[in-house]
Every structure is written in C-alpha cells, then in structure tokens.
Amino acid sequence: MGEPVGIALLGAGNVGAGVLRALELGADRYAARVGRPLAVRHVLVRDVARRRAGVPRRALTASLDMVLADPAVQIVVEVMGGEQPAFDYIRRCLESGRHVVTANKEVMAKHGGELLGCASAHSVRLLYEASVGGGIPIISPLSRDLLANEVTGVTAIINGTTNFMLTAMAQRGSDYADVLAEAQRLGYAEPDPTADVEGIDASYKLAILCGLAFHIDVSPGDVARTGITRLTARDFRYARELGYAIKLLASGRLVEGELVATVQPVFVAQGEPLAHVDGVLNAVQVEGDLVGRVLFEGPGAGPMPTASAVLADVLDVARDLVAGRPPAESISYRPIKVRPAAKVVSRFYLRVTVADQPGVLARIATILGKQDISIASVIQFETDADAGTAELVITTHATPGGKLASAVRQIEALPVVHEVGNVLPMVGG
C-alpha cells in the first residue's frame, strides 16, 4: 500500500485524545480511503512524563523542533487551543512545508488571513473545519459547495454552552444563575464562563464564517457583542407569550457594502428554524442567491464531533498527497468597512418597569414618537401592588439602533420609570 502518511499531533487534551482514538479505531477504513496508512509519528505535549491513555509513549515529545526535524511528517494537526503558542507553531509548520489542520477558532479568527497567506506562499494547505461548529460541516461548504453563490447572510447558534442555558431558561422558567450552575456541574460551562456567556467564543467563530462567506477580512473586534447575563425568566415568559424564542445569535450580513456583524440575544419568531435549535446543538443558516436558505445543524462541541471534523480535513489532505495533487489556491480576502450599530435597522423588544399610574405610557410613547419609532404593540404583563409598579412590554417596528438607544436613554431618565430591564432585537414574525 506504500509508505504511511506521517502525522504529528500538537496537543493531547480531550480533542487530541479523540483524534488519536478515532485514528486507531478507523485505521483500516482510513487507509482504504486514502490509499495509504496514516501513522502518528509525534504527539507534542507539555509534560512527556505524564501518562496518557491511548498515546504511544515513544511518540511523546515536548519539542516542536523534533517534529519539524522529521522528514516523514507531512501533516500537522494542531489541537492545543489558545492563541499562543499555537499561532507560532502553526506558522512554523506551514513555513517548513507541512500541511496543517487546526481546530483553533481563536487563532483562525485573529490570524486566519495571515496564516492562509503563509500556507499559499509555501504551497501547502491550512484547513480548519473543526474551528466552527464542531461536527457540523460548514467551512468546507462555504469554501467549495456554495462558492457559486453570492452569500447574503450567515446566522448561527454556535455556542453550545449558552444554547443549553437559554433552552433551560425557556423550558423550565429558571433564572440565569441557576442554569449557569447546572451547566458548570454538567461540564458544559467552564469554571470561568466569560468566553461563552459574554459571546466571545461566538464572536471568534462568526469572524471566521464572515470571512469565508463574504471573502472579507474580519477580526473579532469587528463583531458587536452582547452576552446573556442580563436575561431573566420574565424575558423568556414574555417571549413565549409573544410567539418567540430567545437565542444567542451570531449574525453577519453585508448591507450597502458594509459589514453588519453581531453576537447578541435575539427574539426569534417561532416560525424560524433557528428558534427550535435547543440544548447543546449548534446550527448555521446560510442565505445565498442561488440556493436560498440552507441550514446546517448538529453537535457543536465534544471530543468526537470535533475529531470528526479534524479527521475529515486530514483525510482530504492525505488523499491529495497520495494522488500528487497540488494544493488549491487560497481565496484572497478584501478589507471591509463595518457599519456602526447606530445605523443597523431592526425591530425591538423593550421591557420597562414603571410607576403604576395614569399617563406613563403616553410619556414613553411621546419619546419614541419624537425619534420616529413606531410602536407595534404594548402589553402590561404584571403589576406589583406593594411596590406600586407595573411592567410594560413594548415591541417596535423596524428602526435604526441609534434612534432606539437615544429613546431608551430618555425613557430611563423619566421619574416614573424604575428600570429599562432589557432591550433585544427581534427577527421573523
């Protein structure tokens, strides 16, 4: 069958162990599909003395130089995570003429353009299917299968931790603190959940998706980001009564040549497919001029779904190596202007706690009217007799975010307003 295709693995954590386990279990199948066996020659770890189940001790090394000194290594799989030293290691591997497969969303979001350019300059491939959506195939479809389309929008649920939490809040009426504690107990949320609950993880993934979908240079800093920490059980109850679900949506769209990229909690109408993506599942919805709307859904995290995406890339590269096919040309990315949030138009939901007395709604309506904001509906959901307050839920017609922000500041200043509890965009319906 010929000499094996040599592989080096950078990292042997949960995902790395999943890749090694899958390579062992599927060895005969992968060899048949590639035309040669796949051989793991090196596994880079911090501590070579630590025992690792399923990792050959002879393959362990703490030195990238040892990996790069082995001429039999043709493919490097990076599953270390984090920005450094992963970025430097990937770059060095590309510069040495090795193909690289990575699951690193942070590195690809922050440095993807540079690394893809480096890969092209050294006639090797850099593949990163596992960096977004875990086991969902989305990078490859955007790179190849949907290439004939003018993609007009990408909307995604791409953080399983927050989707699990929001599903629990919706289905059980739980509050944020309770579902966070449950997610941490089940291992879905880290002890420090900031990257998930503040939308940082999702912003990395959205930057990657926007780059591929629109062929533009996007960084995580271009993504306007709001987390889920202010959501309450009341918001979910009101959403349900209005016919909506609440999801942390990562959304990218080109509007008049400018990028609108957001990660934020959104009221999603029950008629929308994304409203029904629950638990730890992820989903990516792509809109194209030829295919219309297509939805990719599946497990977004976990060692084996991520290993599935990693190994799909490994097999792709290995088959090209065996067949002697040259790497495809990288798509060049162009710079893009980011549209300010003040200019982004949306419908909105406002939850406002007010003094339970006549004339309050009229004063709020006057402020909205002066900003040219049209009210779609107003419902008084509950009254607290002891506090002398009522809760108003207001939905608006489409309006620029800047006008709404100005109106909210004025509403908050009214002496009859106790609190503007939440302001969320709405889609569908």
Q: Which residues are catalytic?
A: 205
The owner of tokens 């992968």 is: 30
Question: Residue 24 and residue 385: Cα distance in Å, rounded?
Answer: 66
Question: Residue 267 and residue 243: Cα distance in Å, rounded?
Answer: 9
**Tokens, residue 143:** 């790179």
Beta strands across the sheet bearing 5-10? 60-61, 38-44, 5-10, 73-78, 99-102, 126-127
What is the phi-psi region of residue 331: left when phi exceeds 0, alpha when psi lies from -120 to 50, beta otherwise?
beta
Residue 290, CA distances (Å) to 69, 146, 148, 149, 209 in order? 47, 9, 8, 6, 19
Do 426 and 351 touch, CB atoms closer than 8 A? no
* Pick from 103, 43, 104, 31: nearest CA to 70: 43
* Pick from 306, 331, 330, 322: nearest CA to 75: 322
Residue 256: CB atoms within 10 A of its CB come to: 8
368-388 b/e (C-beta count within 10 Å ≥ 16 → b): beebebeeeeeeeeeeeeeee
Residue 389, CA distances (Å) to 288, 357, 380, 413 in order? 48, 8, 11, 16
Q: What's the residue count for the chain?
A: 429
Do 143 and 324 touch, CB atoms closer than 8 A? no
Helices (H), 243-375: 303-323, 360-370
Do 127 and 142 touch, CB atoms closer than 8 A? no
User: How many Å is the maximal CA-CA distance in the chain?
Assistant: 85
